[in-house]
Amino acid sequence: MTSTLELKEDKMLKVQFVGDDDVLNHILDREGGPKIKKDRAQLLVNTQKIIKKPENELEEDDQEVLKDQNYVEVLGQDVQESLKNGSATDGGNKVYPFQNRKHPEKMAKLASELAKTPGKSVSLNKNDPEITIDIPQCSKGKILPQFEFLSTAPRGLRKRLIVPRSHSDSESEYSASNSEDDEGVAQEYEEDTNEDILSQKIQAQNRVVSAPVCRGTPSKKMKRKKTSHLVEEYFEAHSSSKVLTSDRTLQKLKRAKLDQQTLHNLLSKVSPSFSAELKQLNQQHEQLFHKWMLQLHLGFNIVLYGLGSKRNLLERFRTTMLQDCIHIVINGFFPGISVKSILNSVTEVLDHMGTFRSVLDQLEWITNKFKEDSSLELFLLIHNLDSQMLRGDKSQQIIGQLSSLRNIYLIASIDHLNAPLMWDHAKQSLYNWLWYETTTYSHYTEETSYENSLLVKQSGSLPLSSLIHVLRSLTPNARGIFRLLIKYQLDNQDNPSYTGLCFQDFYQQCREAFLVNSDLTLRAQLTEFRDHKLIRTKKGTDGVEYLLIPVDNGILTDFLEKEEEEL
């Protein structure tokens, strides 16, 4: 294991004092004359640069392989002139390249790295007594997870080395990162003792250790290799369905459970940062309101994109510009939204009573109505046109047809990364979009507050409360029966082949607990549960009925705790 050897070397070096000249000699030994000057210059470069280097190389190669830059050039490269629209030339390549296999602990590494690059001015000021006192404490806090990762590192490493086609440079990348992990720890001690020179030397040493491997292949050959390398990496990443991640779960963390309300309360304590800049951004956008109105009236429709919730912006647009017009606001992120409800509110505006046979009929009716009466004007504001409920082909077709009417003005926002894929050429020509970038950085509070976000899994407040409600309405005996089932299920939660509690066993247990006196009463109780979807029965292979509660185990534990509190 070369890398463990390297690790040892590093540790030894930490103790030793190495003079400048020694380092130079060392380099001389391994690399020969002409390189000295270069490396010496690099000695002065900070850690970041050196660490970043292999990754930068990779990036360059990616750029070479995916020549989408040419295409950008073709479309005119004047993007940089504008403040908006991102740095088109180098930004794109990073999202698109093939997937590579990642080291499991890479994230933690980056985290510690980021934690180390503080708002420069303050951290570099070592004379500040408060901070020098702080560092050991905080580093302990930070190092604690780090050590855990380090302990998992060799395992990951071994797996990596078993893979037959591990390339020289990927190895070197790994060793570099490995030593740098140590160095992260080392550096913090160094900062403590203010011995900057020493840390620089160690960097130099690390550099030396990893350098020869990198330089082993001539650059020309390497480039060709990297192309095939990229392909191989792709297949490597997809070869096994196994993904190396740690097995820790949120349940072990105490504070994992948060419901919507507490989350909201907690977040209200956070003071927003960069408020001045955000305000400036918003003001920039608000200046466009008149232009939007103009363009809407001239037959274009407007779509807003960019990071951050555009709800407030559109709301301000609504209150400033649309007070005297008929308008409909549609919350696309609302889980119950549908095209039908949008069309219904349009017909509501037109004072139509009665129903339609189908959505298409309704659309036709609306179209005719708007074509007949040219004085009729309607503004549609759609937040999140790309939401789950509206992104379907049919919905988009219908909304597009609505928006193509001359006196319906549509202004919509999209957030999803792939939202533009919703529209083919035909739909795009229906919509007749003008794109506006409105990056606001405001939080998607409203958009994520509905239960369809990732949070549900963690909070689970809805099923829990409904569980409690249902069981409250039952007799104590019935509750007891259900509790028995829960307990049995929780006892078996680590058993992967657990299929449920067999009915006969369950009956036995209930009898022993004096909850039922006959087979029939238990069955009657179970029917009740089944009606409320609290249990599911399955016929096993042996023909016996098995009972199962189709609720997450975490919620069941919570439920039991609550019950016990009440008792």
Partner 1 sequence: MATSSVSKGCFVFKPNFKKRKISVPIEDYFSKGKNASEDSKLRFETYQLIWQQMKSETERLQEELNKNLFDSLIEFLQTSHSGLWKNSEDWSSEIKLREIPTAALILGVNVTDHDLTLRSLTEVLQNNVTPYVVSLQAKDCPDMKHFLQKLVSQLMDCKVDVQSKEKESVQVIQKNVHYSMDSLSAWYMSVTQKTDPKMPRKKRTFSSQWHSPPVVLILKDMESFTTKVLQDFIIISSQHLHEFPLILIFGIATSPVVIHRLLPHAVSSLLCIELFQSLSCKEHLTTVLDKLLLTTQFPFKLSEKVLQILTNIFLYHDFSIQNFIKGLQLSLLEHFYSQPLSVLCCNLPEAKRRTHFLSANQCENIRRLPSFRRYVEKQSSQKQVALLTSDKSLKEETQSLLENLHVYHTNYFLVLRCLHQFTSFLPKYPLGRQIRELYCMCLEKNIWDSEEYASVLQLLRLLAKDELMAMLQNCFKVFQSSSAKELGNTAKKIEEFLAQFQSLDETKEEEDTSQSQSKGLQKTDLYHLQKSLLEMKELRSTSKRQTKFEVLREQVVSFVDSLVREYLLPPDTQPLHETLYFSSAHTLRQHLNAAPRIALHTALNNPYYYLKNEALRSEEGCIPNVAPDICIAYKLHLECSRLINLVDWSEAFATVVTAAEKMDANSVTSEERNEVIHARFIRAVSELELLGFIKPTKQKTDHVARLTWGGC
Query: Residue from 225, 369, 416, 511 that binds partner 1 (CB under 8 A)?
Result: 416
Closer residue to partner 1 (CB): 329 or 490: 329
Residues in the chain: 567
> Which residues inside 177-196 make contact with partner 1, applying CB under 8 A?
none
Q: To the nearest whole angstrom, how small is the minimum distance from the Cβ of residue 463 to partner 1?
A: 16
- Spell out the alpha helix ranges (H) of 163-288: 168-193, 196-215, 219-239, 260-268, 275-286
Q: To the nearest whole angstrom, how small is the minimum distance from the Cβ of residue 82 to partner 1?
A: 4
Q: What is the DSSP string of 105-133?
A: THHHHHHHHHHHS--HHHHH-TT-HHHHH
Q: 501 pairs with which residues across the strands?
A: 547
Q: To the nearest whole angstrom, how small is the minimum distance from the Cβ of residue 527 to partner 1?
A: 30
Closer residue to partner 1 (CB): 333 or 506: 333
Query: Residue from 132, 217, 331, 477 that binds partner 1 (CB under 8 A)?
Result: 331
Q: To the nearest whole angstrom, how small is the minimum distance from the Cβ of residue 508 to partner 1?
A: 32
Query: Residue from 4, 17, 36, 55 that binds partner 1 (CB under 8 A)?
Result: 55
Q: Is the dihedral of CA 481, 484, 489, 490 positive or negative?
A: positive
Residue range at the interface with partner 1 (CB under 8 A); choices 1-9, 33-41, 217-225, 422-430: 422-430
> Which residues inside 463-522 make contact with partner 1, applying CB under 8 A?
none
CB 135 within 8 A of CB 192: yes
What 8-state DSSP symbol labels residue 99?
A: P
Count other C-beta atoms under 10 Å from residue 174's C-beta: 20
Residue range at the interface with partner 1 (CB under 8 A); choices 3-11, 195-203, 208-216, 414-422: 414-422
Closer residue to partner 1 (CB): 47 or 525: 47
Closer residue to partner 1 (CB): 234 or 488: 234
Q: To the nearest whole angstrom, how small is the minimum distance from the Cβ of residue 411 to partner 1?
A: 14
Q: To the nearest whole angstrom, how small is the minimum distance from the Cβ of residue 145 to partner 1?
A: 5
Q: Which distant-in-sequence residues (6+ apart) come within 8 Å of 175 by Cβ?
A: 2, 3, 6, 209, 210, 213
CA distance 513 to 322: 68
Q: Which distant-in-sequence residues (6+ apart) come within 8 Å of 445 by Cβ?
A: 309
Number of residues that bind partner 1 (CB under 8 A): 147
Q: To the nearest whole angstrom, how small is the minimum distance from the Cβ of residue 17 to partner 1?
A: 30
Closer residue to partner 1 (CB): 1 or 45: 45
> Which residues inside 231-270 make contact with partner 1, applying CB under 8 A?
237, 243-253, 255, 258, 262-263, 266-267, 269-270
Q: Is the dihedral of CA 85, 409, 337, 445 positive or negative?
A: positive
Q: To the nearest whole angstrom, how small is the minimum distance from the Cβ of residue 231 to partner 1?
A: 13
Strand, coil or helix: 498: coil
> Which residues inside 91-150 make contact with partner 1, applying CB under 8 A?
91-92, 94-102, 106-119, 122, 130-131, 134, 138, 141-142, 145
Closer residue to partner 1 (CB): 16 or 493: 493
Closer residue to partner 1 (CB): 115 or 231: 115
What tokens does 25 get?
């000699």
CA distance 204 to 455: 46
Closer residue to partner 1 (CB): 308 or 460: 308
Buried b (16+ CB within 10 A) or exposed e, 57-86: bbeebbbebeeebeebeeeeeeeeeeeeee
For residue 368, state whether it binds partner 1 (rule: CB under 8 A). Answer: no
For residue 45, state whether it binds partner 1 (rule: CB under 8 A). Answer: no
> Which residues inside 343-362 make contact with partner 1, applying CB under 8 A?
344-345, 348-349
Site mask for partner 1 (CB under 8 A), range 197-236, x = bound: ----------------------------------------
Q: To the nearest whole angstrom, how small is the minimum distance from the Cβ of residue 19 to partner 1?
A: 31
What separation, in Å, do the N-terminal and C-terminal C-alpha atoms of the chain show?
59
CA distance 196 to 188: 11
> Which residues inside 269-328 make contact with partner 1, applying CB under 8 A?
269-270, 273-274, 276-278, 280-281, 287-288, 290-291, 293-295, 297-298, 300, 305-308, 315, 318, 322-328
Count other C-beta atoms under 10 Å from residue 369's C-beta: 16
Q: To the nearest whole angstrom, how small is the minimum distance from the Cβ of residue 111 to partner 1?
A: 3
Closer residue to partner 1 (CB): 148 or 545: 148
CB 312 within 8 A of CB 278: no
- The owner of tokens 């046109």 is 385
What tokens does 244 get?
């190396």
> Which residues inside 60-79 make contact with partner 1, applying CB under 8 A?
62, 71, 74-76, 78-79
For residue 364, state whether it binds partner 1 (rule: CB under 8 A). Answer: no
CA distance 365 to 357: 11
CA distance 488 to 510: 12
Q: Which distant-in-sequence residues (6+ apart) come within 8 Å of 215 by Cβ?
A: 31
Write the Ramachandran bin of 125: left for phi over 0, alpha for psi from -120 to 50, otherwise beta: beta
